[in-house]
Structure 1
């Protein structure tokens, strides 16, 4: 049994992307090449590695058997390449998945420090309202508000952040400043679109008030923040995003607050790669050093 080792690279990328076009784009080849190389690998191994359907490619049992072995080969090849580099610098692409708010309002604001110290790294930050699948390699690292699950994943809590009620000075001047939980019944709120919430933990407004009078909903936390900043109503927002926003002021901080944990997730097969270790350590150190900022009172 002989096969082209380069076909394993195509196999890995297709297993992560699940479709020909994004796989071809990532590998900088055409879709016909991806399809042909996968077919040749299956013929060489005498195994059907993927089930094909209109929705894309999914691994068969044989493909799931091959996946960790191909990942191990890729991991060793990357380590060898790094060793031959001679300067100990980590290189390559690392894709991090997280929710929109923490990605755009916190992590993206600090990623320049990582790039300055490791110019050979290229970070892809993918924001999504749902948890991406690390097992299927939709991302290399995840930051989530819930402990995700899956085979061969290492998940650990690395910090927390606080949430408070915020509104614009104009709104508070018109409607009054709430002082008690009972006062909230007379106020308007900005919230998530309920039927589009993929992770229940982000529906944090319900930690404060069970039946809010909602006047604006959005699947985007940033849109909610913008609406509140322009007088639409009260919004329950992470302090890392709302505190620096000069258009907003906090109310009832001592009685209306919540907190969420931040979990770091990495696939076990990637944990040994220098670029993964560097990025994950950067994220852990960043969140630990920013504890007072993230957990404001």
Structure 2
């Protein structure tokens, strides 16, 4: 269609920017403090000005058309200019935004939460919402800016990059080892029960290492929550296949066969390209990278001390 001659409204472009971020009119309306009818009216006005459709409905919400992506680029530049005007030259730009990320229980607790806290000290206007879940990367991530998953994901219309690694090791409580003969070979493991994920409910293929590497061990206590694995192991339920950076914080857990049982797992970050261009999202990603680098020795099972001696 022929481009209309009138100039797009700056307000309409900022509305489109929020709809592109959230994928839904209702959430964009909540963020902007207006109703969804106004959102719809402004998008329609912008489409008339631009001379074509900017949004297309999908199963996960609204997706940008090629023309919409052009408009989004202009909207992002406009937002950047406005943020520069709101900030003094001596300070960092003021960023007001909400960033929602999903991650595994352990990552949420030991990486995402402290990273978000440090970021908030520098940017009080950024609110980080952390949703704990262990699953594959979703194909339609409406309402979700960042996903942290275990194992390299297969994604479409998104970018994925590795954040870092951690190690799974086999652990037993000191009390358990007093009551049972400690295993000294891999064959000895068949005499013990395993504490790990529920196989039938496990959505992440990379985490199915318990069955691949320890096929002859029978289950003891299984759970979808890694913190339950730690506590069941501490309580003497059996041998727990645990992230070493979590087990290292518990002085009553002893690592079993460390040279034979050491499974490296990778954390990957997934986000849409347009989402990664948002200043708040970029700031969260940057802080996650820094936190991962700071914790690298602990995450990979170094013999060094954990970052804090306090128990979670």
TM-score, length of structure 1 as denominator length? 0.80
> Which moved further from structure 2: 130-139 or 82-91?
130-139
Change (3 A) 1:58 1:176: same
Are positions 1:121 and 2:126 aligned together? yes
The Cα shift of 1:48 comes to 9.9
> Which moved further from structure 2: 254-263 or 281-290?
281-290
> Which moved further from structure 2: 105-114 or 227-236?
105-114
- 1:78 corresponds to: 79
Distance in 2 (alpha carbons) for counterparts of 1:74 and 1:48: 13
Alpha-carbon contact 1:190-1:227 (below 8 Å) kept: yes
RMSD: 3.2
Distance in 1 (alpha carbons) for counterparts of 2:140 and 2:94: 23
Unaligned runs of 5+ in 2: 303-312
Deviations 1:110-168 (A, max 9, x none): 54333333333322222212245486344323332223343453322232111111122
Alpha-carbon contact 1:161-1:259 (below 8 Å) kept: yes
Change (3 A) 1:104 1:134: farther
Query: Following superposition of structure 1 onto structure 2, how do residues 1-297 of structure 1 map, counting pairs within 5 Å?
Result: 5=12, 7-8=15-16, 11-12=19-20, 15=23, 20=26, 33-34=35-36, 37-38=39-40, 41=43, 49=55, 58-59=61-62, 64-65=65-66, 68-69=69-70, 71-84=72-85, 85-86=87-88, 87-91=91-95, 92-133=97-138, 136-297=141-302
Change (3 A) 1:106 1:178: farther
Distance in 2 (alpha carbons) for counterparts of 1:271 and 1:25: 21
Change (3 A) 1:107 1:49: closer
The Cα shift of 1:249 comes to 2.0
Distance in 2 (alpha carbons) for counterparts of 1:13 and 1:269: 8
The Cα shift of 1:237 comes to 0.9
Deviations 1:210-244 (A, max 9, x none): 13210222111111222111111111111111110
> Which moved further from structure 2: 261-270 or 4-13?
4-13
TM-score, length of structure 2 as denominator length? 0.76
What is the SS of the residue equivalent to 1:284? helix
Change (3 A) 1:272 1:39: closer
What is the SS of the residue equivalent to 2:141? coil
- Aligned residue-pair number: 286
Change (3 A) 1:219 1:146: same
Deviations 1:8-28 (A, max 9, x none): 25633552x5x95x6665555
Change (3 A) 1:41 1:25: closer
Distance in 2 (alpha carbons) for counterparts of 1:57 and 1:113: 32
